[in-house]
Amino acid sequence: MAAVIVVVTLGIAVSVVWTHYYGAPWLPASMPAVRRMLDLAEVSPGDVVYDLGCGDGRVIVTAARRYGATAVGIEVDPLRYLWCQVLITVLRCRGQVSVRFGDFFSHDLSNADVVTCYLLPETNLRLVDKLRSELQPGARVVSNVFAFDGIEPLREDGDTRLYAFT
Ligand SMILES: C[S@@+](CC[C@H](N)C(=O)[O-])C[C@H]1O[C@@H](n2cnc3c(N)ncnc32)[C@H](O)[C@@H]1O
């Protein structure tokens, strides 16, 4: 029993350090916050929505099932990536939702209509150049909780903010 507790504790510690190193540890957005992000970005059927660090997949699944979007999640935590793969299979939304494993800084975002994120202030700052250089005119970016410091949002709803980087 003690060994199980040690292994689980170590696993959680490694996951927190690993994901924090890449951009942010896992903390799921509340479902009202997920809907606020997607509403603020005015996601509509046919939009391509990327969630940077998709966690347990709640943003991408909601974007596809409730808003009719094509959703792409990128996740660096192997366990959460696998969880998302199982989730989209069980919910039969593989046609509309895909999940990529790895660091979102290494993935091309140029076909995104909407980018959602719930990261950390310093990770948002590191993202600015990438968003500016890859997103097409008209693309919207919504950040939950943490602002893009120094950049004026187009609109806000509580602690959810909408930006345009193009
Ligand atoms: C605060 S959670 C947000 C999860 C989800 N987007 C939500 O709103 O419920 C941040 C997620 O980003 C992932 N992450 C952090 N940095 C990353 C990176 N550079 N590339 C891919 N995923 C990353 C973490 O593993 C974690 O699952």
> Per-residue pLDDT averaged across 31-35, rounded?
97
State in Å: Cα 6 to ligand 1 middle: 25
Overall pTM > 0.95? no
d(CA 117, CA 105): 13
The protein residue with its alpha carbon nearest to ligand 1, atom 12, reads 53
Ligand 1: which of 118, 120, 141, 160 to mutate, most ligand atoms within 8 Å of CB?
A: 118
Pocket test for ligand 1, best of 16, 21, 22, 124 (most atoms within 8 A of CB): 22
Measured in residues, the chain has a length of 166
Q: Is the pLDDT of residue 165 over 80?
A: yes
CATH no., domain 27-163: 3.40.50.150
Looking at every residue in the chain, the average pLDDT score rounds to: 94
Counting DSSP H helices and E strands in the chain, the numbers are 5, 7
In this structure, the number of other CB atoms found within 10 A of the CB of residue 11 comes to 11
Q: Which tokens in the block code for residue 166? A: 């193009």
CA distances from 8 to 25, 54, 78 (A): 17, 22, 15
pLDDT digits (tens, 9 = 90+) for 42-92: 999 999 999 999 999 999 999 999 999 999 999 999 999 999 999 999 999
Tell me, what's the pLDDT at 117? 98
In 3-state terms, what secondary structure has residue 156? strand
